[in-house]
Amino acid sequence: MTNDFLVARQASFVFMVSMRHDRGTYIKQGSTPGPITSSSFRHGRKRCTHTHTHATTSRQLSILRPFSLNRQASRRKPLTRRTPGVSQAAGQLVHIGTAHHVGDSLHRFWEALSGICSRTIQHQDSQVNRLCISPDKRYLAAAGNQVVRLYDIKSTNPSPLLTFEGHTGNITGVAFHCEGKWMVTSSEDGTVKIWETRTGTIQRSYSHGCPANDVVIHPNQGEIISCDRSGYVRVWDLAENTCAHELTPEPDVSVSSVTVASDGTLLCAANNSGNVFVWRIEQEYDGTRMVPVTQFSAHKEYITRVLLSPDVKKLATCSADHTAKIWEVKGSAPKPGEQPKALPLEATLTGHQRWVWDCAFSADSAYLVTACSDHYARLWELHSQQIIRQYNGHHRGAVCVALNDYSETR
């Protein structure tokens, strides 16, 4: 294994992993987010429903603003390879954090170059199901049973800054607004909730009527997309405070995970049958269309996670079949009368011994981190399909991962 991948510019690379049985104050530097109202969300949608086999459109009630992604992203540079022997930039930090459940759940931060565990944080009274890092890379949201706890990544204080309480079931998904003004969660209590990060109060609550498995935020920040155990994918219009689209990829089959492209062009979902579904998101003057692109069998067992790469050229799937797979993304819809084709398979990452629960791409989309019930987290180079690092020492399975991979100017 080589170190040159990790010997990059001054960078911080953090991923945290949590255990599952095999089966805030989010203070943005220099600003204080105010209360969330409908005017906080930039556009609206009119409700309509459809299955995967039909395109859908909805009336646009106000002019869409261009996508406003995290402003810090324009200053970041992806991790790149360097010639072996070149010294590291002073102060470079490359950390990996993991969490597992042994009485209490632990977030472990590992120094990736040496494999040394540099920090441990306890998550009291609950396992950790999902992890998410705030847009400014300072805070970590850890979602567990009924609560989300917010931690300061750079602080030595092991106590959470804020605890978000209000769900009555296991929390299955968590994501931040691009400027940290609000946070969204999904839960087995059947709801998707929006939280004001300044106070930790609930601003919105949407009902699925059955356990919700995952939630993501569209890059336009005006829609959230969630999925549930009954087989639905729902797109919630935040300005209109309603469900804009209701997709049924495969009736009565639990949709385990959803992912949306960083440029807002694609939506992907995966279910317990091992199938993946892809839609192209088209923004038009008079509405938004969800155009089916393809559906295909990716695994023979449950898919636990589906994730589009930052460059939107790859799709990763994690599965109970002990593998993660990388698919080439093609966003063109089939022509009339033409059968949809499966995305081309680029790589099958083998080596894990149990369920692969979660994954995260590096900023340059060249590397993938996986978390598995076999107690290991692994860092893969996708071009060579080789394991670059393996992080062990966990007494229970690792099931969730959050990756902090960026370069910052001095």
Average pLDDT, rounded, for the chain: 77
Range with the lowest mean pLDDT among 93-107, 147-161, 229-243?
93-107
Q: Tell how far CA 165 is from the center of its chain.
A: 21
Q: Which residue has the tokens 């929006």?
A: 194
Q: Which residue has the tokens 């409700």?
A: 47
Domain ranges, ordered by start, for the chain:
11-29+38-407
Q: What is the mean pLDDT of residues 359-384?
A: 90
Give residue 331's pLDDT. 66
Categorize the per-residue pLDDT at 394 as very low, low, confident or very high, splitting at 50, 70 and 90: low
Take residue 275 and report the two structure tokens written for it: 């199938």
Query: What is the dihedral sign for C-alpha 402, 406, 409, 410?
Result: positive
Categorize the per-residue pLDDT at 209 as very low, low, confident or very high, splitting at 50, 70 and 90: very high
Contacts of 261 (CB under 8 A, 6+ apart): 219, 267, 281, 308, 312
The string of DSSP codes covering 72-98 is: GGGG--------TTPPPPTT---EEEE
Q: Which of residues 312 and 100 earns the better pLDDT score?
A: 312
Q: Which of residues 12 and 200 earns the better pLDDT score?
A: 200
Give residue 105's pLDDT. 65
Q: Which of residues 339 and 308 earns the better pLDDT score?
A: 308
Q: Which of residues 258 and 107 earns the better pLDDT score?
A: 258
Q: What is the mean pLDDT of residues 347-352?
A: 95
For the chain, how big is the Rg over CA atoms in Å?
Answer: 20
Cβ pair 379, 17 in contact under 8 A: no
Q: What is the mean pLDDT of residues 253-277?
A: 98
Count Cβ atoms within 10 A of the Cβ of residue 38 and give its class: 0-12 exposed, 13-18 middle, 19 or more buried: exposed
Q: How far apart are the first and last CA of the chain?
A: 30
Give residue 16's pLDDT. 52
Q: What is the mean pLDDT of residues 134-156?
A: 90
Q: What is the mean pLDDT of residues 257-265?
A: 97
Count Cβ atoms within 10 A of the Cβ of residue 282 and give its class: 0-12 exposed, 13-18 middle, 19 or more buried: middle
Contacts of 204 (CB under 8 A, 6+ apart): 36, 193, 194, 238, 241
Q: Which of residues 270 and 90 earns the better pLDDT score?
A: 270
pTM: 0.80
Categorize the per-residue pLDDT at 205 as very low, low, confident or very high, splitting at 50, 70 and 90: very high
pLDDT one-digit tens code per residue, 36-92: 555 555 444 433 333 444 454 433 322 223 223 333 333 344 444 432 322 232 223
Q: What is the mean pLDDT of residues 94-103?
A: 47
- pLDDT exceeds 50 at position 8: no
Give residue 406's pLDDT. 57
**What DSSP character marks residue 45?**
B
The CATH class of the 11-29+38-407 domain is: mainly beta
Q: State residue 75 phi and psi, 5-degree precision.
A: -100, -5
Q: State residue 74 phi and psi, 5-degree precision.
A: -70, -15
- pLDDT exceeds 60 at position 318: yes
- pLDDT exceeds 60 at position 3: no
Take residue 360 and report the two structure tokens written for it: 């995260």
Measured CA to CA in angstroms, residue 194 lies from 35, 59, 80, 230, 340 at distances of 12, 24, 36, 22, 36
- pLDDT exceeds 50 at position 21: no
Give residue 289's pLDDT. 84
Bridge partners of 347?
326
- pLDDT exceeds 70 at position 265: yes
Take residue 155 and report the two structure tokens written for it: 């602080």
Measured CA to CA in angstroms, residue 209 lies from 7, 187, 192, 215, 337 at distances of 48, 11, 10, 15, 36
Q: What is the mean pLDDT of residues 173-192?
A: 97
Residues of the chain by 3-state class (helix, strand, coil), percent to 5: 0, 45, 50
- pLDDT exceeds 90 at position 357: yes
Give residue 112's pLDDT. 62
Cβ pair 100, 397 in contact under 8 A: yes
Categorize the per-residue pLDDT at 334 as very low, low, confident or very high, splitting at 50, 70 and 90: confident
Categorize the per-residue pLDDT at 247 as very low, low, confident or very high, splitting at 50, 70 and 90: very high
Give residue 53's pLDDT. 41
Range with the lowest mean pLDDT among 256-260, 306-310, 324-328, 403-407?
403-407
Q: What is the mean pLDDT of residues 200-223?
A: 97
